[in-house]
Chains A and B, each alone.
Chain A
Amino acid sequence: MTPNSSTPLLQISDLHVRYGPVHAVRGISLDVYQGEIVTVIGANGAGKSSTLLSIAGAEKLSSGSITFQGIEVGGKKSPFMVSRGVNLVPEGRHIFSRLTVEENLEMGAFSLKDPSPIPARKEHVFATFPVLGERKDQLGGTLSGGEQQMLAMGRALMVAPKLLLLDEPSLGLAPLIVKTVFETIIAFRKAGTTILLVEQNANMALRHADRGYLLENGMIVGEGTGKELLVDPAVREAYLGA
Chain B
Amino acid sequence: MGTLSQAVINGLTLGMVYALIALGYTMVYGILGMINFAHGEIYMIGGYAGATFLGLWGGGLSVPIALGLAVLFSILVSSLHGAGLERFAYRPLRNAPALAPLISAIGMSIALQQYVFLTQGTTPKPFPQFFRQDLVAYEAGIKLFGGTLSPLQGLIIIISTLLMIGLSLFVRHSKMGKAMRATAEDRRMAGLVGIDINRVILTTFVIGSALAAVAGVMVSAYISTIFYRDGYLAGLKAFTAAVFGGIGNIPGAMVGGVLLGLIEALGVWATGASDWKDVFSFGVLILVLLFKPRGLLGEVVAEKV
Contact = CB atoms under 8 A, between A and B. Distances in A.
Interface of A: 56, 58, 77-79, 82-83, 87-88, 90, 92, 94, 96-99, 103, 106-108, 110-111, 139, 141-145, 148, 155, 159, 172
19 contacts: A58-B188, A79-B191, A79-B195, A90-B188, A92-B305, A96-B182, A96-B190, A97-B301, A98-B301, A99-B178, A99-B185, A103-B178, A107-B190, A108-B193, A110-B175, A142-B304, A145-B304, A148-B304, A159-B194
A144 B302 CA distance: 11
Nearest to B172: A103
Contact of A142 (B186, B192, B195, B302): B302
Contact of B188 (A94, A103, A111): A94
B26 to A, nearest CB: 15
B194 A82 contact: yes
Contacts of B196: 79
Pairs A-B, 10 closest by C-beta atoms: A111-B194, A82-B194, A94-B189, A78-B191, A79-B194, A96-B182, A141-B303, A107-B182, A97-B303, A110-B194
A92 B304 CA distance: 10
A152 to B, nearest CB: 9
Contacts of A90: 188-189, 192
Contacts of B189: 90, 94, 96
B185 A98 contact: yes
Contacts of A148: 304
B181 interface: yes
Nearest to A100: B178
B194 A99 contact: no
Contacts of B301: 97-98, 139, 141
Interface in B273-305: 301-305
Interface in B182-207: 182, 185-186, 188-196
Given A78-B192, A110-B194, 4 more contacts: A94-B192, A107-B178, A107-B193, A110-B193
A78 B189 CA distance: 10
B195 A110 contact: yes
B221 interface: no
Given A103-B178, A141-B301, A145-B304, A96 B186 contact: yes
Contacts of B51: none
A108 to B, nearest CB: 5
Contacts of B182: 96, 99, 103, 107
A142 B304 CA distance: 7
Interface in B150-199: 175, 178-179, 181-182, 185-186, 188-196
A10 B181 CA distance: 33
Contacts of A98: 181, 185, 301
